């Protein structure tokens, strides 16, 4: 069965965005970028909530034309070709190989039952919360960056407690740490 991997960047104090929505702090060094590439190779679908979709769609379609950062050059191509499912009740039409879905549980259960590679949910704490509520996230891959934001959007705004099992840890570029958990 296909897995859902929650791939998220967080600050040391547990925020995925700063007090004003800032997301200018994750450092994608060579080692973290290479790991990101291997994660995306095992996937064939990206999952997004509306807010993260709008951020991604505003940057990644042309990121390799406006930046020479190696991560941007590599990921922009992956992002454009990868099928995407965007969960939203307000969006109707999408571009960039994306489609809208509204029923999180039904859609993800159907996707998991289909043949294919894994699915990556990037960021999106609200969508992650909805998936966690229905026990639909198989792996939590949390990259902790060496920054304290002092507030913002929490990485886990979930209402109910649940246990995770540590599967792996890695350090990247002498800066970031991956905490990989299974449910």
**pLDDT on residue 159:** 67
Q: How confident is the model at residue 156 (pLDDT cuts 50, 70, 90)?
A: confident
pLDDT at 165: 97
Instruction: Compute the radius of gyration of the chain from its Cα atoms.
Output: 16
Residue 164 and residue 183 in contact, taking contact as beta carbons nearer than 8 Å: yes
Is the pTM above the cut of 0.85? yes
Domains and CATH numbers, the chain: 4-22+33-182 (3.40.430.10)
Confidence band of 161 (pLDDT split at 50, 70, 90):
confident
Residue 158 has pLDDT above 80, yes or no: no
| Mean pLDDT (whole number) for 35-39 | 96
> Is residue 5 packed enough to be buried (19+ CB in 10 Å), middle (13-18) or exposed (0-12)?
buried
The number of residues making up the chain comes to 183
Cα–Cα distance between 66 and 165 in angstroms, integer? 40
């Amino acid at each position: 069965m296909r897995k859902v991997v929650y791939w998220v960047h967080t600050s040391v104090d547990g925020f995925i965005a700063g007090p004003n929505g800032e997301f200018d702090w994750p450092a994608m060094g060579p080692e973290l970028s290479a790991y990101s590439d291997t994660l995306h190779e095992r996937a064939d679908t990206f999952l997004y909530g509306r807010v993260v979709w709008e951020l991604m769609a505003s940057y990644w379609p042309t990121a390799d034309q406006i930046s020479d950062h190696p991560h941007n050059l590599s990921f922009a191509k992956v992002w454009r070709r990868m099928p995407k499912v965007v969960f939203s009740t307000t969006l109707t039409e999408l571009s960039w190989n994306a489609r809208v879905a509204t029923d999180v549980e039904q859609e993800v259960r159907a996707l998991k039952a289909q043949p294919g590679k894994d699915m990556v949910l990037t960021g999106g704490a609200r969508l992650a919360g909805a998936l966690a509520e229905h026990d639909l996230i198989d792996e939590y891959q949390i990259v902790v960056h060496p920054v304290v934001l002092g507030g913002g959007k929490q990485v886990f705004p979930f209402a109910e407690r649940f246990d995770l099992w540590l599967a792996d840890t890695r350090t990247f570029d002498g800066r970031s740490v991956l905490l990989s958990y299974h449910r």
